[in-house]
Amino acid sequence: MSRELLVTGGAGFIGSNFVHHLVARTDARVTVLDKLTYAGNPASLAGMPEDRVRLAQGDIADAALVEELVAPMTGEDDAIVHYAAESHNDNSLSDPSPFLQTNLIGTYTLLEAARRHGTRLHHISTDEVYGDLELDDPERFTEATPYNPSSPYSSTKAGSDLLVRAWVRSFGVRATISNCSNNYGPRQHVEKFIPRQITNVIDGVRPRLYGAGLNVRDWIHADDHSSAVLTILERGALGETYLIGADGEQNNKQVVEMILRLMGEDPDAYDHVVDRPGHDLRYAIDPTRMRTELGWEPAYRDFESGLAATIDWYRGNEAWWRPQKAATEAKYATTGH
Ligand code: NAD
Ligand code: DAU
């Protein structure tokens, strides 16, 4: 019998990528549990076979609904793969409250269901739990780096990781955690850096760079994140944490200039705007453990060609992103970003 997976947040950017990945590469049957917040879009699951993927609209903090979905998952390989979160730092600075509710209470609710039913859980987290690095720091983040989050978003993600670790140790929950770096690719909400700038350029609006633009992010294609998560589900050791990254460090200025160049514009045609409060300077993942212990390798080796394909996707899929664009920019206008 094929395995049953409950993918929370599967209508979001990375969760939907994982559902596409599962359908293409496994025979798993998938229930997506997604609240369909402003960030969730059922169109991201368009084309998925109905006999393998079903969407249950609901809140991960709804204990009765979670119980109903988890109780029947009795197979040894069945698992909850937990992507659902409030995910945007800028939003967490304007209003932290949904971040506490979803990222902490939501994760707690899933852990309790996993505890009651002995269900495997894989928790998707972020490199931001480790805080930031100096630009010239020779050490990158590893599984041993102490937690030091900066924002309401990253502190609630850190808290959710610690809940998972505590439920593993105190209750024997069969869980793993992964902390990944910045993802890019198709179907990312236009509030995020890369899609915001691509869609601005499409609209004839100058890209907007926070501060001097020297902050470094470690970019990985969402397809590579999905292949890494599937590898952990198949070969990861219970109770362990794995860092996922693809050696993709770029500063924001380099990325904006690359987008402009790839879109046929003057690479200097962008504006510097007010910086993000508490803006983390640099993230960088040391992915040695994923590679040596689990044998995982990223497929995307060239950021520029991955970015060019992402630009093509946004050019070809305006119907997907257009409904969110005006409201997103109106929200940014209130903070000067
Ligand atoms: P996203 O904002 O695009 O999607 C989040 C999804 O979760 C949406 O579909 C939303 O409707 C759903 N959701 C939100 N609250 C919910 C709730 N209470 N109950 C059920 N569903 C709910 O986010 P993303 O960028 O795809 O990130 C997914 C996960 O990956 C998050 O846990 C995030 O912390 C983590 N992550 C993201 C990145 C990145 O670069 N985007 C990197 C590393 C880790
Ligand atoms: O590192 C993983 C994290 O990456 C994930 O945990 C988060 O869910 C995800 O949103 C992302 O967080 P960032 O804050 O790094 O991503 P964001 O796309 O918001 O911004 C990337 C960088 O670009 C950051 O340094 C801020 C900057 N920025 C962002 C926007 C939206 C700009 O300069 N201009 C912009 O318009």
Rounded to the nearest angstrom, the distance between the alpha carbon of 72 and the centre of ligand 2 is 38
R_g (Cα) of the chain, nearest Å: 19
3 state SS of 6: strand
**Is residue 11 in contact with ligand 1, taking CB distance under 6 Å?**
yes
Distance 142 CA to ligand 1 centre (A): 23
d(CA 179, CA 142): 10
**Catalytic residue check, 76:** no
In sequence order, what DSSP letters do the residues of 76-143 get, joined into one string? TT-EEEE------HHHHHH--HHHIIIIIIIHHHHHHHHHHHT-EEEEEEEGGGG----TT-S--B-T
Asked if 153 is an active-site residue, the reply is yes
**Residue 202 CA from chain centroid, whole number:** 24
pLDDT digits over 170-212, tens only? Answer: 999 999 999 999 999 999 999 999 999 999 999 999 999 999 9
Mean pLDDT (the chain) is 98
Tokens of 119: 């269900």
pLDDT single digits (tens) 123-141: 999 999 999 999 999 999 9
Percent of the chain as helix, strand, coil, to the nearest 5: 45, 15, 40
Domains and CATH numbers, the chain: 4-183+221-244 (3.40.50.720)
Residue-level pLDDT at 144: 96
Say if CB 10 and CB 19 are below 8 A apart: yes
Residue tagged active-site, from 34, 59, 127, 280 = 127
DSSP single-letter state for residue 285: B
Look at residue 2 in the predicted model and tell me its pLDDT.
80
pLDDT at position 1 over 60? no
Strand duo 4-8 + 249-251: pairing: unpaired
Q: What is the pLDDT of residues 39-82, one digit of tens each?
A: 999 999 999 999 999 999 999 999 999 999 999 999 999 999 99
Query: Rounded to the nearest 10 degrees, what angle do helices 318-333 and 303-316 cross at?
Result: 100
User: How much distance in Å is there from the Cα of 85 to the middle of ligand 1?
Assistant: 4
Active-site choice (83, 108, 130, 153): 153
CB contact set of 174 (below 8 Å; sequence gap of 6+): 114, 118, 119, 120, 121, 168, 238
Instruction: Provide residues with CB under 6 Å of ligand 2.
Output: 87-89, 126-128, 181-182, 192-193, 196, 208-210, 215, 217, 252, 276, 283, 337
Q: Which of 119, 38, 37, 109 is nearest to 71 (CA)?
A: 119
**Tell me: the pLDDT tens digits for 73-105?**
999 999 999 999 999 999 999 999 999 999 999
Q: How far apart are CA 229 and CA 231, in angstroms?
A: 5
Tell the residue nearest (CA) to atom 19 of ligand 2. 192
